[in-house]
Amino acid sequence: MKWFFALLIGIGTGFAAVFINISVENFAGWKFSLTFNIIQKSYLAGCLIYILINLALVFSSVSIITQFAPAAAGSGIPEIKGYLNGIDIPGILLLRTLIGKIFGSIGSVGGGLALGKEGPLVHTGACIASLLGQGGSTKYHVSSRWLQGFKSDRDRHGLVTCGCAAGVAAAFRAPVGGVLFALEEVTSCWRSQLMWRVFFTSAIVAVVVCAAMEWCKSGNCGHFGLGGFIIWDISGGQEDYSFEELLPMAVIGVIGGLLGALFNQLTIYVTRWRRNYLHKKGNRVKFYCSKEKEYNDLATIFFNTQDDAIRNLFSAKTIHEFSAQSLLAFVVMFYTLAVITFGTAVPAGQFVPGIMIGSTYGRLVGIFTVNHYKKLNIE
């Protein structure tokens, strides 16, 4: 019976992840297509339409969280950690929290906020696991006595652990990563039997996600929805590294550590300020669009989803597509937006924004190394 529930958790979390990702991709593609058509006639109108669409998506996400599912705010990982370690937090595993998490994530990520959907996917998997274990939701009359097989806290904790691992596996297509996340991060009660069920759940998620991506490639998921997740294309083979490249890599690591520490400190200040003061009006920013037939690398990063932007930054086919000035401008703006966005009343993850920031400044270090240390023969 436990293995059957692990199967259901994997299938449910996989479909939830695919639904969120396809929705975000279609919103991003629709925004780009609509804005591109409008700016052919008026740059100002195109800019206003782009802003209004993002505002509508973010407002819908905020409305869902504040009016329907307050427990769905944030990534949900700290709450799930608390639950699995003996702290009962009301409302974090309800059906309305699951619904709010899914649709709130679509609105916040689709609205262009500097946050990710990977953290909320962990919470989503935990909610699915908990609801299956208790047979559904009696409040909304969506329940089954046949599924009510796990009444003890130990069994429920095991199911929720499987759900957390399924969320990570769905986010990154990494079954082993899901197991390691559940082992190292969320639960303090670990058994060998549970480990195999967690791995089985993560493997099922990977199968569901891969099958959905193949199905979406034929155009069944909308004009823009290809079902792509965070994955690096290594079909072209692995490049050889030289000993001289270790220094730039070390520099990237140092920069990442400093930016991470600064990010944590800034989010504390911003959170305290948000609690004590009212939000002030934003500053007006003037946007410049490229002339017709010109390529705007900065717009390419902003208009794409974060997943697609990361793939472009890591691709060997885009070596000369992004200028250092655009990358520097983007990392400063995105880093600032990530600090401000953290802690707001929307489902928010920090995994992908961190990867986004790291890949951007890593590309900057790579450009600097290639241009100023040509004797190293690095491409």
Residue 371 lies in a domain: yes
If you average pLDDT over residues 175-179, what whole number do you get? 87
pLDDT at 265 over 70: yes
| 8 Å CB contact between 343 and 74 | yes
Q: Are 169 and 206 in contact, with CB atoms under 8 Å apart?
A: yes
Residue 11 forms part of a structural domain: yes
pLDDT band at 11; cut points 50, 70, 90: very high
Give Cβ neighbours of residue 77 (< 8 Å, ≥ 6 apart). Answer: 119, 122, 123, 185, 186
Picking from 73-82, 247-256, 311-320, which range would have the lowest pLDDT averaged per residue?
311-320
Locate tokens 């002339």: which residue? Answer: 291
Identify which has the larger pLDDT, 299 or 196. 196
Q: Is the pLDDT of residue 148 over 70?
A: no
User: Is residue 181 pLDDT above 90, yes or no?
Assistant: no
What would the pLDDT profile of 31-53 be if each residue is shown by its tens digit?
888 888 888 888 888 889 888 99
167/264 same-domain check = no
Assess whether 171 and 261 both reside in one domain: no
Q: Which domain holds residue 268?
A: 243-376
Q: Total domain count for the chain?
A: 2
Instruction: Return the structure tokens found at 123.
Output: 């919470």
The confidence score (pLDDT) of residue 200 equals 92
Can you give the CATH number for the domain in which 85 is found? 1.10.3080.10
pLDDT band at residue 284 using 50, 70 and 90 as cut-offs: very low
Q: What mean pLDDT do residues 111-123 have?
A: 83
Same domain, yes or no: 209 and 357: no
Are residue 166 and residue 253 in the same domain, yes or no?
A: no
Six-digit token pair at 131? Answer: 């609801």
Tell whether 18 and 132 lie within a shared domain: yes
Residue ending a domain, choose from 162, 187, 220 = 220
- In the chain, % of residues over pLDDT 70: 78
Give the mean model confidence (pLDDT) for residues 207-228.
74
Confirm whether 189 is domain-assigned.
yes
Q: Check pLDDT > 60 for residue 146.
A: no
Q: Do residues 287 and 354 both lie within one domain?
A: yes
Q: Which of 89-98, 194-203, 320-329, 367-376 has the weakest average pLDDT?
A: 367-376
Residue 294 inside a domain? The answer is yes
On whether both 280 and 157 belong to a single domain, the answer is no
* pLDDT band at residue 295 under the 50/70/90 scheme: low
pLDDT 10s digits, 197-206:
889 999 999 8
Whose tokens are 């791995």? That residue is 199
Confidence of residue 281 (pLDDT cuts 50, 70, 90): very low
How confident is the model at residue 353, as a pLDDT? 80
Residues 188 and 253 in one domain: no
pLDDT given for residue 283 in this prediction? 43
Band of residue 305 on the pLDDT scale cut at 50, 70, 90 = confident
Question: 252 and 113, same structural domain?
Answer: no
pLDDT of residue 264: 86
pLDDT given for residue 347 in this prediction: 67
Token pair for 192:
């060998």
Whether 144 shows a pLDDT value over 60: the answer reads no
Do 289 and 350 belong to one domain?
yes
- Give a three-class secondary structure readout of the chain: CHHHHHHHHHHHHHHHHHHHHHHHHHHHHHHHHHHHHHHCCCHHHHHHHHHHHHHHHHHHHHHHHHHCCHHHCECCHHHHHHHHCCCCCCCCCCHHHHHHHHHHHHHHHHCCCCCECHHHHHHHHHHHHHHHHCCEECCCCEECHHHCCCCCHHHHHHHHHHHHHHHHHHHHCCHHHHHHHHHHHHCCCCCHHHHHHHHHHHHHHHHHHHHHHHHHHHHHCCCCCCCCCCCCCCCCCCCCCCHHHHHHHHHHHHHHHHHHHHHHHHHHHHHHHHHHCCCCCCCCCCCCCCCCCCCCHHHHHHHCCHHHHHHHHHCHHHCCCCCHHHHHHHHHHHHHHHHHHCCCCCECECHHHHHHHHHHHHHHHHHHHHHHCHHHCCC
- Higher pLDDT, residue 167 or 242: 167
Is position 236 within any domain? no
Lowest-confidence region among 39-53, 82-96, 191-205, 312-326: 312-326
Q: Are 83 and 49 part of one and the same domain?
A: yes
Which is nearest to 327 in space by CA: 346, 310, 352, 339? 310
Tell me the pLDDT tens digit for each residue of 226-263: 555 555 555 555 566 677 778 888 888 888 889 888 98
Whether residue 170 is found in the same domain as residue 285:
no
The predicted model gives 156-175 an average pLDDT of 87
pLDDT of residue 203: 92
